[in-house]
Each structure stands twice: as structure tokens, then as C-alpha cells.
Chain A
């Protein structure tokens, strides 16, 4: 699914990712853990194609296609979805309109037929109910006046309707209370499937109690410095990142 090979990324001429290699097979969930400043958000923005994240070396491919050559919209149409740590507000664009526009733009890019309004509304209602979201809220400007937890739920709502193949969750647990964390995690877990891979980027182990990863990687100073099974996350929780900070 996703192959990252010796990736180097600079932001404002400062190297942040320095030779990162990662292999995420189809259907697997991998966690990326690391201290602040390790390059976690840089990795997620680079994969999604944000401007200002300059790839100075290496490669990233999705099913063999060069991800880095595509603009963000083309990546999304290929199935990449980044769940933002801080989702943006868009006044004047109702959440439902936004998601339907995105879904149909993706379908158009893939040569698929558009989804009509009635069918979309049916899916949206079912998804909102599963995420315990107030449907009326979805008629208002996207994320405008939403609490932090509601915004994260809105990310999962979009994810469920857009049905991406590669999910990148950037600090999805930040700002969530325990109930919201459970609902959001259930939403993510419902999307786990054979053809879908997930990259769960997090500082704390807490989220991984809810979204169980197949593998855990430690990101420090721009490189993967250790990889292991779920037990690695528990070890990090006990011992902290100090050992890796010095290794890097």
C-alpha cells in the first residue's frame, strides 16, 4: 500500500524528516509515536501534500504511484485522507455541502458517477447517527462554532463518507475527553478493513488502547529509530522517549 523510502523533508529550509523509511501493507494499522518536534506532523502534511513541505530526497508511493508528484486533491482522489489535528472552520459552507462536494469531486477524478443528493443524505444521516452527531449541526458552516471534540467527530464523519484507502490520523486524540475518544475510536475501528491502511500518529499511548495497531514505530529526529509490536507503545508509556532522543 504505502511505501516511504529514505524520505527527506525540509520546512523553511530546515531539515525535519531525515531519511525516513516505512512500509505500510494493505489492511494494517501502524502507529507512529514520538516526542514533540520529532517530525510527526511534518510527515502527515508531507503525505497529504501541503505547500511549504519541501521534499529534498527519497520517495513515497501509494500502490506504486508516486504520491509526491500529485497535488493534494489528486492524492485524496487516490484514497489519501488526513485527519487534521486542528480541523479548519469554513464559514458559509455547510458541512453537508462540503463533504458532498468533496465526495463528488473525488468520484469525478476517478471517472465514477456522482452521488445524488437523496442518496448522499441517506448515507450522511446513517453516519451521523453512528457517530452520535446532531444532524442539524451538519447544515451549518463547516466546523463553525464546533467544540474540539465535535470537530474531531466531524473528521471521522468525513472519513466514513469519503471511504479513503489510506487514513492518516494526526493526533486525533488531542483535546478529546474519554467519551469522545471512545466514539471517535469506534468510528475509526468501524473503518478497519482488508483494503484499507491506517497511520495513527500520536504522542501518547492512550489512543492505542482504543485503536489497536499492528505495528508501532518510534519517530525521533526525523527518522524511524525503532519498530515493534503493540508492546512497544506500552514500553514508551513506561519509559518515555529519552532513550530514543539520545539514539537519534
Chain B
């Protein structure tokens, strides 16, 4: 087995995933985490607590310390829950692996917002394994600002049967930060829908990674799966790596994926500047609009507000 968790628990750095592992080629931990930090050899449980004011919001606060952590959450049949999954901006060079098990019962709804503000020196891997029952709705938005190496992985086991999954995300990266959003959407039964919209911005020498794999199993007929990744490079030295993958073994499915990487439109920038908006402001305005579409898709207003505030903070980091 390889993975940050296995390496940390066994204190064996050869188990770190590196660039020779197909799924980790752009998120090399082996070359980054040397020597391996010593952490507790036990996985620590992480409890969810209710937000004091938001009746429906449950919250995980990932600790900004080294170690391996487990958390789980289940939403009962027919229930609705909002989950704010937050890594607060911290300092220091921690290596953290967090595994989250999420189960949605029949007809249940979960809105998950991940605000990942790791420190610049952090090596952080967050993995969510989401299992949907028939008729369940899972809406997720991941907003990430990167770390030394930051990976946010979401794997959805999708039964079809009227269940719906939406995996949105955005990364806003400055300096030499790295962020990797990886999704694995496994359509296992007929009649399921999924959509993904990921927007990314990389400035300075930052590196953004998006990997999205959609598999449609034998018999998962009538699946409708869509995936779109659009990224903007704000500097010549920034890098975006994207790998959308479709594996389809069923008939009569509608699958689409699109991937674009570009720069801010010089003509639009000139237009804004010709109205008196200084260049830095004009760039930020266009970046905000680009990422704003992700924020606007978030249903629950308190989550949308939290997301908007998070993006506004990060835009300040890009103001240079």
C-alpha cells in the first residue's frame, strides 16, 4: 500500500506516493516529505460539532498538526445536512492525512463546503469517501488555496437510482503553492446523474492540478455525467495540469468532459482599464467573476456567504 497515511503510520517513506505513481504524478510527496515527520502511530478520531448558531450546519475543523485522522458522518434517510469542512489558515510544516467517510441514506441531502486554507509549508491530504443511497443528493464545493503539497480527493460511490452528485471546486493559488483536486465518480447503477465544475487560478509559480475520473459500470445505463475544468494562468511560471478521464462500460449514457487552460483576455482587461479600473483591480475583478460562478452554485445561503468571504480573502493574496 502507498499513501501518506500508510507512510506516516509505518514510518516508511518508501510508501509515500511519488511522481512514478500514475495518480500522483503531479503531486509528488516522496520527493517532498524527507525526512518523514514522527507522528502518533494511531489514527486519531475527529469529531464533528454543530455550529453554535447554524442549526443545520455541522462542522469539522481539521487540526493543523501532523498526524492521521479519521472522521465519519452519516445523513439518515430523508434528512438534510450542511457540512462545513474547514482547515483554518495555520502556520508550520505539518504532514496530515485526513480520511472522511460519508454515507447518505435514501433520499438524504448533504451540502458539503470544504474551505482548505493550509499553511504554505503543509503537506496535506484529505480524502472523502462518499456513499450514496438511491435518491440521495450530494452537493460539494471545494475551495482550496494550496500548500506545499495539498491534495483533496473525493470518491463517490454512485448507485444511480435517481441519486445526484455535484462536485464543484475552485483553487486560487499564489506564490509557490500547490493544490490538487482529484475526483473519482463511480456510477454503479442505472439512472444516475453527476456534474462537476472546477475553476482554477494559478499565479506566480503556483501549480494547480485537477484529475477527474468518471467510470460508468456495466449496467449503469442512462447515466448522465458531466465534468468541466477551466483554469487561468496568471503568470508565465505558473502551471496547470489536468487529466479528465472517462471509462464507460454501459449503453445509452450521456457523458461529457471539457477542459480549458488560458490567460485573462487582454482585450477585456484593456476595456476595464479604459473605464478607469487600475490593472490590478481589473485582474482581480475578472478572477473573482471567474470563480464567482462556483460560489453562486452553492445552495444554502450561509455556506455561500462563507465561501464568498473565503474567496475574497484569497483574492487579497493575489493582489501583487
Contact = CB atoms under 8 A, between A and B. Distances in A.
A106 B277 CA distance: 7
A73 B289 contact: no
Contacts of B278: 71, 73, 105, 109
B172 to A, nearest CB: 15
Interface stretch (B8-16, B161-169, B238-246, B267-275): B267-275
A167 to B, nearest CB: 12
A105 B277 contact: yes
Interface stretch (A80-88, A191-199, A239-247): A80-88
Contact of A72 (B265, B273, B288, B289): B273
Contacts of A103: 276
Interface residues on A, range: 20 to 34
Given A72-B270, A87-B271, A92 B289 contact: yes
B282 to A, nearest CB: 8
Contact of A102 (B265, B276, B279, B293): B276
A77 interface: yes
A219 interface: no
A95 B266 CA distance: 19
A141 B296 CA distance: 13
B88 interface: no
B268 A90 contact: yes
Contacts of A75: 274
Nearest to A94: B289
Contacts of B70: none
Interface in A18-77: 48-51, 71-73, 75-77
Nearest to A89: B268
Q: How large is the interface on B (under 10, 10 to 19, 20 to 34, 35 or more residues)?
A: 20 to 34
Contacts, number: 76
B285 interface: yes
Interface of B: 265-268, 270-279, 281-282, 285-286, 288-290, 292-293
A73 B276 contact: yes
B286 A90 contact: yes
Given A50-B274, A162-B276, 8 more contacts: A51-B266, A72-B274, A73-B276, A76-B273, A82-B274, A92-B293, A105-B277, A109-B276
A88 B267 contact: yes
B263 to A, nearest CB: 14
Given A92-B290, A93-B289, A158 B279 contact: no
Contacts of A71: 273, 278-279
Given A50-B270, A51-B266, A51-B270, A102 B275 contact: yes
Nearest to A107: B276
A76 B266 contact: no
